[in-house]
Structure formats: structure tokens, C-alpha cells
Amino acid sequence: MLSRKAIIGLALLGSLSPLLGSSQAQGSAKGVILSRQSGQNAQLIQAAEKGDLAQVQALLKAGASANANDRTGRTALTWAAKGNHVAVTRALIASGADPDPQDEARNNALLVTGETGSVALLREVLKAHPDLTRTNRYGGTALIPAADRGHLAYVRELLETTNINVNHVNNLGWTALLEAVILGDGGPLHTEIVRELLAHGADRRIADREGVTPLQHARQRGFEDMVKLLENNPGDG
């Protein structure tokens, strides 16, 4: 079976449909690459990446910037988000950390939560009023990776507490609904995500670049429970 990375690669090449298979989320964090800035800021980034709340608080009190970033542009807040360090995230935001700056890989705090699926972290980041339209390296909002990875609780929280665009189309030509079907496994979590997306206005008529709708993808993959949900819309192919 093709990996998630392989499926995305095929989509970018425009040769997806004949080779669809199930996938699993992948990803790993790289070590902190420090910028040439003050020692306190560099220490803050390291402490945030490790989740060392006491050290973060001490450095902020001593004058370190809540918006410190490494030479890739990754902020202390994004490092804290990647490690799911909720208390550190809370402390940085309370000190004025901006949630929106993106690093070279186009990650920021909110977009990272879409990948990890941490509802607790999401709630902290939302307190900083992040820009919901910011997109990752694939042109997707935080909702899209959450949908394809099966983060049901996260998807529900994001849809119920924000006005994020449920029908945003990423650089692959996919909406969150398409990703939940194409990159999902057809099981209970992804099926419930499809239900949530539809309940919050997902347009099941939006097809991929090859003109294949979510319903057609679900039929091709034998995802019967998804098919039943998607068939409830007249004229959806």
C-alpha cells in the first residue's frame, strides 16, 4: 500500500486515481537550529522545544522575547506546539507571542496542531486569535491535515469554535472532505470526520483535479459507511 507521502506526491504529479491506497500519518521534528540572536532568546527556544516551563518563565521574566525564533524562522511558540507543551504555549501567549509567523517549512503554531491533533494545544493557540487562513507547505489550512489524519476531536473543536473555511482547496486540489476520503482508512474516525465536515457545510460536489468527487473516491475504495453519508446529497455523482 502507498504511504501518505507517496499519495501526495502522485497528486502533485497529477497521477493519483489509479494508485490510491491506505495511508498513515508521518512526520518527525528536527532539532532546534538557533539563530544569531541574544543568548536569552536562544535559550528560550531550547526551553520551549523541551517543554521546560520553569526555564521559559524565568527567561521571559529576564527579558527574552516571546517571539524569539531560530534561523529557520521557527518561533519558540511553534516549537512548544510541536512538542504539545500546553503550559509552555500558555506562558508564551500570555507574554505576547504571535501565533502567525511561519518557518521555512511554512509551519506555525496553529498549523502544527492540525498535524498533531492536540485539542488542548489548539485551545491555547486560539486564545491568541491566529489567522485561520494561513496555509502549510501543501497550501492547506489546519483543518485539512487534521481531517486526513483522523483527528476527530480536533476537527470537531475547530469547526465548532471557529469560522475556518471548510471548503478551502489546497495545492493538491483537495478539500478537507476529499482528504478525509482519499488519505483516510474508511474506518469509524474518518467516517465521523466526514459526517462533521458535511454538518458544517462541506460541499461534497467539489471534485479533485481529475473531476473525481468525494463520493466517487469513497465508492472506488469500498468505504461503504462514507458512501452512505455522501449519497444523501442528490446529484452528487
- pLDDT-derived band at 160 (thresholds 50, 70, 90) equals very high
Render pLDDT for 39-86 as a digit per residue (tens, 0 to 9).
Answer: 999 999 999 999 999 999 999 999 999 999 999 999 999 999 999 999
pLDDT of residue 25: 33
What pTM was computed for the model? 0.84
- Residue 2: per-residue pLDDT: 59
Helices (H), the chain: 4-13, 39-50, 53-62, 76-82, 86-94, 109-116, 119-126, 143-149, 152-161, 176-182, 188-199, 214-221, 224-230
Is 151 within 8 Å of 159 (Cβ atoms)?
no
- Complete domains list, the chain, with CATH: 132-237 (1.25.40.20)
Q: How far apart are CA 166 and CA 45, in angstroms?
A: 33
Give the pLDDT of residue 85: 98
pLDDT of residue 22: 39
CA separation, residue 172 to residues 46, 58, 140, 181 (Å): 34, 44, 9, 14
What is the predicted pLDDT for the residue at 167? Answer: 98
- Assign 3-state DSSP to the chain and report helix, strand, coil percentages, each to 5: 50, 0, 50
Q: Is the pLDDT of residue 21 over 50?
A: no
pLDDT, residue 29, reads: 37
Q: Quick: pLDDT tens for 90-118.
A: 999 999 999 999 999 999 999 999 999 99
Contacts for 206-213: CB closer than 8 Å, 24+ residues apart: 206/167, 206/169, 206/175, 206/177, 206/178, 207/237, 208/11, 208/16, 208/172, 208/173, 208/174, 208/178, 208/182, 209/11, 209/14, 209/172, 209/173, 210/14, 210/16, 210/17, 212/17, 213/237
**pLDDT number for residue 38:** 65
Give the residue among 12, 23, 33 at the shortest CA–CA distance from 139.
12
> Which pLDDT band holds residue 232 (cuts at 50, 70, 90)?
confident
User: By C-alpha distance, which of 132, 129, 151 is closest to 141?
Assistant: 132
237: CB partners within 8 A, 6+ apart: 205, 207, 213, 215, 216
Residue 8, pLDDT score: 67
Average pLDDT, integer, range 135-154: 98
Q: pLDDT band at residue 33, thresholds of 50, 70 and 90?
A: very low
Please count the residues of the chain.
237
The span from the CA of 27 to the CA of 57, in Å, is 29
Calculate the average pLDDT of the chain: 89
Confidence of residue 36 (pLDDT cuts 50, 70, 90): very low
